[in-house]
Structure formats: structure tokens, C-alpha cells
Structure 1
Amino acid sequence: MTVQLLSPPVELHRLISAALRDNALADLIRTAPDEAYSAYQVPAWQQELLVADLGDAMNRIGVHPNLRFKFLALRGLLKLQSASVAPFLESLGGKNGSYR
């Protein structure tokens, strides 16, 4: 079942954006997410979805894809492999940091 939204989840978007600038809020999202949700007035139905599978919940809620990555990172759940663009840039012939 997909939840149809008339507008983006403004409260959750505001919370994620604020937590990126506020270390205490970011810590609260990791340690006591319910308190952070309440402080930013995230609707109860969204809070209920966020208790289970976060990926599915954010899809159903309609969280912007960019903010999904940031939220998962804030929660300590984003698992990405480290990658370097250096080999690609070197293949373009760049030397000493100059890639034109």
C-alpha cells in the first residue's frame, strides 16, 4: 500500500535539514528519534512508519531522495563503500590537481 501525499513531508524534511547543522539534534535522532520527531511535530502516522523499515517508510512518506541518504547517515544506517574519483580523473590526463 502506498500513501498518497498532497504535499511533501515538511516536518520531517525540516528535522533532517536541521540535524545536519546541529550535532545535538543529530545525536538525538540516533539515540531517541521519537523525541526528535515530536520536537519537530512529525505526524504520528509518519512516526509509526519510521519505527519499522526506514527505507520503505521514507518511500511511503515521500521523503526527498537526497534527504533519505542524509537521514540514514544521521541514524548511522547508511552503508556505502568508500570510492575514489582519482582513477577517473587521472584517466582524463589531469596532473597536480588540474583537470581541464
Structure 2
Amino acid sequence: MEQITQFLPFILMFVVIYFFMIRPQQKKIKQEKEFEAALKVGDKIITKSGLHGKVSELAETTVVIETMSGKLKMERSAISLELTAALNKKA
């Protein structure tokens, strides 16, 4: 019984770390993958570097976005926000 009480603080720390750090990070990764899979041609997006554009072509791992200065090919993971749904919610 004494051995269990010695390890109880470590067990509690692991539980706290799991629920406050590991679990939310896993949830965020899952949401990002769902977001990447739900992209479609015509969506207005913002990349993680702050570039605004519209999706013009989709491939398995890449996306071509159309900006005011031309077209750029980027990885799907570089997209951080989809504006089309956000703009439709406000309207």
C-alpha cells in the first residue's frame, strides 16, 4: 500500500498532462486532417503564412491556389483557415 502512495503523485501528474496537453493536441490534429480532406475547388482560404487566395486545383497532397498575383502550388497542410464558410455564417 505504501508503494502505491509513493507513485500516486506521478500517476496524477501523468493524468493531468494527458488531459491538458496530449488529448487537446490529438483533437486539433484530427480537426486539421478533416479540414484538409474537406477542401474543395472555389473555397477562399488563408495559408499559415498569411497568404489569401482561392482554391483552383486539388491533388492528393497539394493544392493550387489563385491569388491576385497568380497561381501558387502548396501543400494542403500549409492552409490554416477556410474563409468561405466563415463568410457565409456572417451573412
TM-score normalised by L of structure 1? 0.23
Q: Which has the higher contact order (CA 8 A, sep 6+)?
A: 1
Instruction: Name the structure with the higher helix share.
Output: 1
Instruction: Name the structure with the higher strand share.
Output: 2
TM-score normalised by L of structure 2? 0.25
Q: If you compute each CA radius of gyration, which structure gives the higher value, 1 or 2?
A: 2
